[in-house]
Amino acid sequence: MEIQFYGVLQEVAGKRSTSFPLEEPTALVEVLERLQEQLPGLAAHMPRLACAIDDEIVPRTHTIEPGATLALLPPVSGG
């Protein structure tokens, strides 16, 4: 699967996207835990992230399929 980083997360990860090994359907929360192990700098941002799978915002209880694209979206504000 592919993981895309947006906003400040690109700086933290040092890249815009990364390949992530996923061989079977897996809970999104498990994917996020494994990703934090690989990129510890993301841990501080995880509680406030929105997650989108194939362009749809989903809860962390969602199951992600191999071959999907996961986008990690930091909070945004405006005025």
Measured CA to CA, the distance from residue 15 to residue 5 in angstroms comes to 7
Measured CA to CA, the distance from residue 27 to residue 62 in angstroms comes to 6
Give the pLDDT band of residue 75 (cuts 50, 70, 90): confident
Q: What is the pTM of this model?
A: 0.91
> Residue ranges per domain, the chain?
2-64
Q: Kindly tell me if the per-residue pLDDT of 79 is higher than 70.
A: no
Nearest to 27 by CA among 53, 64, 1: 64
Residues 6 or more apart in contact with residue 57 via CB below 8 angstroms: 50, 51
pLDDT at residue 78, rounded to an integer = 64
pLDDT digits (tens, 9 = 90+) for 16-60: 999 999 999 999 999 999 999 999 999 999 999 999 999 999 999
Range 2-64 has CATH code 3.10.20.30: yes
